Structure 1
Amino acid sequence: MKSIKLKLWFGYAAIVLFSVSIVSAPFLFNEIRGLERNIRKEAALNMNIEHDSVTALFEKPQAVVKTLALYCKQDVLDLKTAQDDFAELIKNDTTISAAYFCEARKVNEGGLFYYSGGWVPSGDYDQYQRSWFTDAQKASGIVVTEPYLDVPTKSLVASVVLATYDDSGAFTGVCGLDISLKTLSDAIGSLKLSESGKSFILDRNGLYLTNDYMGKIQTANFFDEYPAFAKFKGKIGSDVFFEPRVGGKYIAAQVIDEKSGWILATVGNSGEIYLHFEREILFVVLMGVASLGISLFAAFFLSSKIVTPIKSVVGAVDRIAAGNADLTKRLTVSGNDEISNLGNGFNRFMEKMQGIIGDVKSSKNELARAGEDLSSATSDTANSIGAILQSIKGMHEKIDNQKESVLQVYAAVNQIARTFDSFEGIVESESSSVSQASAAVEQMIGSISSVNESVEKMTASFSSLRADSHVGISKQKAVNDKITEIEIQSKMLHEANKTISLLASQTNLLAMNASIEAAHAGKAGSGFAVVAEEIRKLSETSSAQSKTIGMQLANIRKSISDAVAASSESNISFESVSKKLEETDALVTQIQSAMEEQNEGSRQITGALHAMNDSAEEVRTSSSEMAQGNRTIFGEMGLLQKAALEMCSSMEEMSANAQKIRETGSALSSVSAHIKFSISKIGEQVDQFRA
């Protein structure tokens, strides 16, 4: 739990912090906006100064080129004199590397080229192929050309050129000055808005025209090197464009020549132009923090001044709460503020508390004696109630035992009655069943006689069938033997057919040899040739017939093989049927013997059932008499059971009421003990105070 001192301190701190925030926030906001405006104004002013400086760099060459144009209007120019005059004209200006005049007539056709350094172009030189010449001829005034590599000086230059005309207005040539881009880069590089800033002249596409690194001139693009500024390319015009924070850098740019589209751009770190601004903001923040610290210290001092008297009251209250308190002591109060009133009120409370504690102490002893008397009375009452409950419990147990005995007897009599009722029904059912059984047994005896006759007929039929199966097996064996003989003979025929086929083949060979010999013999062997031809035909016919017979014999052998297989299966089936018939005949014989035994047993059962029917009639008469006596006993036992249940219910009510009395006595004893304990505790607490 936070103390009042901390609450006061935190509350005062919150008020001070809120006040500082309310005062500082608008001030900081206005200060930031004012400084931002000042930065933009300062940047615009510096850019205008740089713009004027760059313009001044080109104003002198423009004035010089005008002077040069007036000089070149002379009707006759001496080459050597003109070159010396040109050199004298530019000797004091380091930005101008050369002055020259080129006549309108082509140099390769006899035209003259006047150059301050004495350079003489080659014989094939054509000024009309040079952009500085053609740009000046087309323009109506001074032209600043795009940078190019100057042939005489082997350096990058930009030319300030002007076309010259005679009094009649005829074009007479172009005079110009070359401005060294190295010298221009050095001059532009010194112009900057911040310590690490850099300034460049760019063409309309962003290519460097000046740069500390000469290799970037006309080759590297400013917007490729600073891609974050590429989005502002279309916003740069004749007015100063300034963006202070773009990826930690600033850019200021302005078009310095509308004709050429040249741009003056300067870049640098944003932190450098915001340095003064950040220092002022830091000063304001530090002043705010210092004010907050002083206010918090004042809050701490005031809260301590307020809380110290309150702590005195809290200490006194804590001592009273801890026990062994001296109610005779009082707080020392000085002053007349709210805290002093709190101390006076506490002293009055202590006086009142002292009087109350004195009265409580005097009443404590009387209350303790009353508690002792109440405890003794409740103890005697509890003992008496316990004795009563014990007596009721013993009587209740005896009545419960009696009730259980009555219930058991009643249940036994009830069971006997149900048994007699069931027995009477059983006797009736048994008598009826015996009569039905006698009729069924007599019917079964008739059925057994009929079955015996059928079994005797089956026995005779199976004997005849078994004899026929033996005859069939014998005949099947004879058929198998004949088929086997036919198979052997068919094999012999097949061998004979092979022999005939072999003889036909040899006869054919013999006929062929005979034909060959007859052909050798000529006419003398013509008769022999006829015989040989007939023998050959006979051989071919025999061979063809032998093949046909072979095929037929093969089919016959296959049929015989199938017949042998079928005959074997038929023989196996006959043997199986014969075996099953013998087994069935044995079963029929066994059935016949069993039926004869059953017929004899049925006759004996019939005699026993007649005797049982007579006994059942006698039992039924005795059972009716016993059932009537049992019903009378059952009625009396019902009355006895009802009386026992009523007595048991009354004892349960007595026991419940006695138990409630006992519980009340126990509760009273507990209350008495609690009162006694409470009186003791009150005495202990009251004794701690000194009144």
Structure 2
Amino acid sequence: MKSILKVKKIKTKLIALLLLLIAFTSLSISSIFIRHFYITTKQNIASDLQTIADDGALLVNEKINTTKTALEILSRMPELRDPNLHPREKAAIIDRELQYNKAFLRFSFTPADGTGFCATGPSYNAANSEWFRTAMSGKFFITEPYFAMMDKKFICLLAVPVFDGEKVIGVLGIDTLAESLSVLVKTTPVGQAGYCSINGRDGTVIADPDEGAVRDQENPILLAKSNQAFSQIGTFIEQSLNGKQEPSIVQYKGTDYIISASKVPISGWLFTARLPYQEFKAPIITSLFQMLGIIILIFIIADIIAIFFARRISTPLRNITTALQSISEGDGDLTASLPVNGNDEIAHIAYFFNKTIEKIRASILLVGQNTGIMQQIGDELSCNMTETASSIHQINMNIANVKQQVVSQSENVADAVSSVDEIKEAIEALNANVQKQVESVAASSKSIEYMVENIQEVAKTLGASEALIENLHQATSDGKETIGNSNTITQKITEESGSLLEASSVIQHIASQTNLLAMNAAIEAAHASEAGKGFAVVTDEIRKLAEDSATQGKTITATLKNFSNEIERLSGISHTVEETFNSIFTLADQVKAISNKITSAMQEQSSCSRTVLDTMNEMSGVTGEVSTGSANILRSGENIAKDIHKLNDSASVITDSMNEMASGAGQIDNAVTEANEITHKNKQSIESLAVEVGKFKV
């Protein structure tokens, strides 16, 4: 049942593959055709629209050119060059031409001063008008349609220069109805819903089927700046006015159009032809539905063909499946064969299938013959491998025990190496300390010798300073006694200076009394008149002498006061010096006592330093012997360390060898175990093979 389902699945795959291939091919061809049809249709429509626009622009150009030619002919009338005729009369003469063309409203004549006249009505000033300036420069000009209040209609003004020889003497103008332009665009067919339009030089709509756009003078270029709905049409018209623009798809008032434009050469206006994009898509959609119907028809036919060929391919495969199913699920009959019909791939499959079954049958016969021999060999190999595995396992256990003992010995040797290394490091540290001790003892011995020498020098210095200290003590004692005597004398001088001050006061008092007495004598001499003149001279001298005595007395008093102050100051200083000498004397006694103590201590220290020096010399000898012994111990320790390291290396080599032996033995054990298992599996496989071979019918 499973095989039948599989055959049906192959059949389904073949049908699906063929259908997908046909569908892909059909869709690809259809897509290419539709794309080509779309591009071709678009190009044709664009070309047709461009032709309509070009023809419309040419028609407008010819229409304007015809009016221009008529104006130029009228401008050559001799009456227009007659200076005796008034401009209004000239306009009236030309007005007679109006009866021949109803599209013409009125003529006007404007002389060089810019004052224009029609046959009737008031004059006007056209000096600043563009059409007047252009015509006066010798060129033709046409205005864009504008709404004339007088006529209540849109009109165009055409102007040509009037020459008198080579000189422009005025401008001949004509007003025409602009309705003819709207009639032209309305009567120009563009598809079913398309239309034409004319835009002025600035983009303003001047002719359009929509009269409201003309009446409102709609300008898409200006509207595009404020209204997004006019952006595409405004851009297209602006670019077309500025140069040649290819047909494009634009949106205008909510509708997509294919638009083409052509410029009117004589006026600079833009003639556009527009076709709704929906009308362009209609034939494409129709073609698309037609192509879809063709594809469906092709798909149905392809489905029938695919089913037919799938059945032809699947029938031989079903026969092969039935034969293989009989071999696999039935009695294993290898004598079966398939019929070989035809000369295609299916027939080749049946032929080679029969050959393959014959080879399998021959192989099964040979396998059946050798299966018994392989069973006997497998039994013997299984017994031998079991015994070998047991022996190898016992050898592996013995090697593991030896390995354990070698590992234990290696660990003990490693511990011994570690201990010897620690002893060696301790001996090295001890030897280093001994060397430092030897150096320290030697340095200490030298320091003590130097200290003993310094102590002896200090003792000598103290001995010499004792005499100096004794002399200082004696001198201090003498100075103390002298200062005491000096202080006593100073006290006496101070007391005597007080008596001198009292004597000075007495002298000043005597001088004062003498001066008073001299003044009284002078007064009496003045009373005695001439008789007392001599006595007056004497009293005057006595008075002067008294004044001098008083002055000297004051000077002596001041000097004595200063002397008394200095004596008091000297007395204070003497007292201070006496106290200082007392302190120096006390300190000298203390220095003498301390010097005696230092001398005694230095003598004791010198004796002790001698003893220490002798002890250090003995210690230096002992330390030298210890250093020699430590060096010998260090050399012995290094030799022991070398020997123990050699022993450790040997133990490591033995351990590595045992590890390799154990690893090899383990691998051998594993290999033998696996071989034993493989042998048993081989035995089971041979038995299974014999059973399976017995299932085939050969």
Per the TM alignment, residue 271 of structure 1 is displaced from its structure 2 partner at its CA by 1.9
Tell me how many residue pairs correspond in the alignment: 526
**2:182 matched residue in structure 1:** 185
Q: Deviations over 1:519-554 (max 9, x none)?
A: xxxxxxxxxxxxxxxxxxxxxxxxxxxxxxxxxxxx
Per the TM alignment, residue 182 of structure 1 is displaced from its structure 2 partner at its CA by 5.0
5+ long unaligned stretches in structure 2: 1-8, 81-91, 163-169, 224-233, 252-256, 477-590
**2:544 matched residue in structure 1:** none
1:274 aligns with 2:280: yes
1:44 aligns with 2:51: yes
SS of alignment partner, residue 190 of structure 2:
coil
Q: Deviations over 1:110-136 (max 9, x none)?
A: x9x77xxxxx636xx469989999899
SS of alignment partner, residue 268 of structure 1:
strand
Q: 1:357 aligns with which of 358, 364, 381?
A: 364
Whether the 8 Å CA contact 2:46–2:258 is kept in 1: the answer is no
1:681 aligns with 2:689: no
5+ long unaligned stretches in structure 1: 74-81, 115-119, 165-172, 469-583
**2:314 matched residue in structure 1:** 308
**2:541 matched residue in structure 1:** none
Whether the 8 Å CA contact 1:327–1:353 is kept in 2: the answer is no
Whether the 8 Å CA contact 2:110–2:171 is kept in 1: the answer is yes
Per the TM alignment, residue 338 of structure 1 is displaced from its structure 2 partner at its CA by 1.6
Q: How does 1:213-228 map to 2 (within 5 A)?
A: 213=211, 221=219, 224=222, 226-228=234-236
Q: Deviations over 1:542-597 (max 9, x none)?
A: xxxxxxxxxxxxxxxxxxxxxxxxxxxxxxxxxxxxxxxxxx99999999998777
CA distance, structure 2, for counterparts of residue 129 and residue 620 of structure 1: 139
Whether the 8 Å CA contact 1:255–1:263 is kept in 2: the answer is yes
Q: How does 1:434-473 map to 2 (within 5 A)?
A: 444-451=451-458
**2:196 matched residue in structure 1:** 199
SS of alignment partner, residue 209 of structure 1:
strand
**1:230 matched residue in structure 2:** 238
SS of alignment partner, residue 121 of structure 2:
coil
Per the TM alignment, residue 677 of structure 1 is displaced from its structure 2 partner at its CA by 0.8
Q: How does 1:37-186 map to 2 (within 5 A)?
A: 37=44, 39-41=46-48, 43-44=50-51, 48=55, 121=121, 125=123, 147-150=145-148, 152-158=150-156, 179-182=176-179, 184-185=181-182
Per the TM alignment, residue 250 of structure 1 is displaced from its structure 2 partner at its CA by 1.1
Per the TM alignment, residue 328 of structure 1 is displaced from its structure 2 partner at its CA by 1.4
Q: Deviations over 1:335-363 (max 9, x none)?
A: 32321331342244234324433543554
Question: Quick one: structure 1 residues 282 and 663, their matched pair in 2 at CA, closer, same or farther if it must change by over 3 Å?
Answer: closer
Per the TM alignment, residue 459 of structure 1 is displaced from its structure 2 partner at its CA by 11
Whether the 8 Å CA contact 1:197–1:269 is kept in 2: the answer is yes
CA distance, structure 1, for counterparts of residue 302 and residue 258 of structure 2: 41
Percent sequence identity over aligned pairs: 17
Whether the 8 Å CA contact 1:462–1:585 is kept in 2: the answer is yes
Which range moved further: 262-271 or 383-392?
383-392
Per the TM alignment, residue 674 of structure 1 is displaced from its structure 2 partner at its CA by 0.7
Per the TM alignment, residue 177 of structure 1 is displaced from its structure 2 partner at its CA by 7.8
Q: Deviations over 1:212-249 (max 9, x none)?
A: 4567569655655622233333657xxxx973556764
**1:671 matched residue in structure 2:** 675
CA distance, structure 2, for counterparts of residue 145 and residue 428 of structure 1: 130
**1:371 matched residue in structure 2:** 378
CA distance, structure 2, for counterparts of residue 36 and residue 663 of structure 1: 87
Q: 1:210 aligns with which of 203, 207, 212?
A: 207
- Paired residue type of 2:151: T
- Paired residue type of 1:250: I
CA distance, structure 1, for counterparts of residue 171 and residue 618 of structure 2: 169
CA distance, structure 2, for counterparts of residue 655 and residue 375 of structure 1: 31
Q: How does 1:152-551 map to 2 (within 5 A)?
A: 152-158=150-156, 179-182=176-179, 184-185=181-182, 188-203=185-200, 206-211=203-208, 212-213=210-211, 221=219, 224=222, 226-233=234-241, 243-245=247-249, 249-255=258-264, 258=266, 261=267, 263=269, 265-269=271-275, 271=277, 274-275=280-281, 278-279=284-285, 282=288, 286=292, 289-290=295-296, 293=299, 297=303, 300-301=306-307, 304-305=310-311, 308=314, 312=318, 326-328=331-333, 330=336, 333=339, 335-336=341-342, 337-361=344-368, 363-385=370-392, 444-451=451-458
Which range moved further: 150-159 or 284-293?
284-293
RMSD value over aligned CA atoms?
A: 7.5
Per the TM alignment, residue 33 of structure 1 is displaced from its structure 2 partner at its CA by 4.3
Whether the 8 Å CA contact 2:452–2:606 is kept in 1: the answer is yes
Whether the 8 Å CA contact 1:200–1:210 is kept in 2: the answer is yes
Q: Deviations over 1:2-45 (max 9, x none)?
A: 98985896589569856985898589648844762465246525
Question: Quick one: structure 1 residues 135 and 663, their matched pair in 2 at CA, closer, same or farther if it must change by over 3 Å?
Answer: closer
CA distance, structure 2, for counterparts of residue 285 and residue 587 of structure 1: 143
Question: Quick one: structure 1 residues 458 and 252, their matched pair in 2 at CA, closer, same or farther if it must change by over 3 Å?
Answer: farther
Q: Deviations over 1:653-680 (max 9, x none)?
A: 8997798577546534422321321332
Whether the 8 Å CA contact 2:434–2:623 is kept in 1: the answer is yes
- Paired residue type of 1:181: A
Q: Deviations over 1:376-413 (max 9, x none)?
A: 32333444455566667778888999999999999999
Question: Quick one: structure 1 residues 232 and 412, their matched pair in 2 at CA, closer, same or farther if it must change by over 3 Å?
Answer: closer
Whether the 8 Å CA contact 1:207–1:217 is kept in 2: the answer is no
Question: Quick one: structure 1 residues 455 and 246, their matched pair in 2 at CA, closer, same or farther if it must change by over 3 Å?
Answer: farther
Per the TM alignment, residue 439 of structure 1 is displaced from its structure 2 partner at its CA by 7.8
